[in-house]
Amino acid sequence: MIRKARMIVDKDYTAGAIDERIYGSFIEHIGRAVYGGIYEPSHPTADDMGFRRDCLDSVRRLNVSIVRYPGGNFVSGYNWEDGIGPKHARPRRAELAWKAIETNEIGIDEFSEWARRANTKVMLAVNLGTRGVDAARNLLEYCNRPGGTYWSDLRRKNGYEMPHNIKTWCLGNEMDGAWQLGMKTAEEYGRLACETAKAMKILDPSIELVVCGSSSPLMPGFPQWESTVLDHAYEHVDYLSLHTYLDNLEDDLSNYLAKSLMMERFIESAIATCDYVQAKKRSKKKIMLSFDEWNVWYHSFEANSKTAPWQVAPPFCEDIYTFEDALAFGCMLITLLKHADRIKIACLAQLVNVIAPIMTEKNGGIWHQTIFYPFMHASLYGRGTVLRPIITSPMYDSKDFTDVPQLEAVVTCDEDKKEVVLFAVNRGQELVADCELRQFNGCSLLEHVTMTSDVMKATNSMEFPEKIRPYRIDGAVMQGGTLTVRLPQLSWNMIRLAFSDV
């Protein structure tokens, strides 16, 4: 017996406007993300600066809006001055976060140029682990002042006449984590973040600042950490960061696909905490969220433990994603969009080679993982406004969750393109969904793209780069304002419809 679901979509029932930065990503100096990833001067496709053109093409294909850099744990021990000036004079450093050798061939100048070539923007993190206010304000001066000061003139001397004009900045990374160099208590970090934010906004009032929230929803200090930090920094920052990674270490598919519900509770608790502090301070300002690390991450744990330390760019965190990972990933992506009213920035961690949708081979080819496609679909077509559909779906219980909806979905409406797009994950057996579209005149189906597989552990690879890929599916029927569509069992789906004003 085929299961059925029902969805009511009304143009006036909006969740929030989509900020394009929700389709951001992340590149850290870890493993082969930079060296051997975006940068490989000996590669046949390398451009004049050593950046792989094939990699740039893939990043542009994803339509990535902003990229967080240079970390991550890396930033908490990073001296940004090591990465500027003549390359032959830059120091090689023992990098403590990932026990590697950092050559500093790529720094803020080169990365800013890479971002321009990738048609994206930079979200820059400052070191509040081993450093503080002075290094942060100097870096901002180097990047954003046109000239006439020491650090801005040094940038010009280094060959970058125009400022990088970076507008989004992270005040450190995961400062509540015991693994972090310079870990701090909430009181210590809140004070430092506040003073750093004040100095940076004096220098450039146009920037936006992201303050560190808890490193995951499982941290024992959550949400008290957020409350304490915001008590100090609320009026000087613009976003609170959240990080979440999902795994299937127990190899329980139904439970794995339900774990995005934990992510949803994390978001709702963080919003409640921000609003509590706003009420407590009687502030007119509303803090938004930056979900600047999110992904599936667990496949590489064993391989990482065997990696010899103190190498230059060793393979590290190179998860090879399965089809079931793409489903969990799709659920996370939908969860972010459902909260577009408060989540204005989100960064898929990471972009190339390290827990990434894009994989490269040294002096060789490039291929796309299973998670590449849901991100691409959302980034290309999930624009405009998020609508809040009313969904009636079969439910199931798993080991850790009850009342898990089989249908996980969100709807976006792009008034400029006159498109309404449904993104959906079917967590179970084949499902037929009736979608009632209210206030959408002349609605017609453009395409239904799905991604499914009979083998949950199936992966893509250099040898078989399209073993798992999306394809168009027929059979959807539009009649009397209702779309009836079949969602294959255990599938990711994108359904695009056109509408008119009359």
Select which of 81, 95, 102, 293 is catalytic. Answer: 293
- 293 as an active site residue: the answer is yes
Query: Could you give the CA distance from residue 105 to residue 42 in angstroms, rounded to a whole number?
Result: 14
Token pair 């209210």 is found at 438
Question: Residue 87: what are its φ and ψ, rounded to 5°?
Answer: -65, -35
Q: Which residues pair with 5 in a beta bridge?
A: 433
Buried b (16+ CB within 10 A) or exposed e, 417-455: eebbbbbbbbbbeebebebebeebeebeeeebbbbbbee
CA distance to 17, 440, 482, per residue, from 501 (Å):
20, 8, 18
Select which of 40, 110, 141, 174 is catalytic. Answer: 174
What element of type H or E holds 253? helix 253-256
Query: Could you give the CA distance from residue 275 to residue 269 in angstroms, rounded to a whole number?
Result: 10
Question: Residue 377: what are its φ and ψ, rounded to 5°?
Answer: -60, -50
Q: Which residues pair with 449 in a beta bridge?
A: 472, 494
Query: Could you give the CA distance from residue 217 to residue 227 in angstroms, rounded to a whole number?
Result: 14
**Do 205 and 248 meet the contact criterion of CB atoms below 8 Å apart?**
no
Query: Could you give the CA distance from residue 431 to residue 490 in angstroms, rounded to a whole number?
Result: 9
CA neighbor of 67 nearest in space, from 293, 254, 282: 293
Query: Could you give the CA distance from residue 241 to residue 264 in angstroms, rounded to a whole number?
Result: 14
DSSP letter, residue 9: E
What residues are annotated to the active site? 174, 293
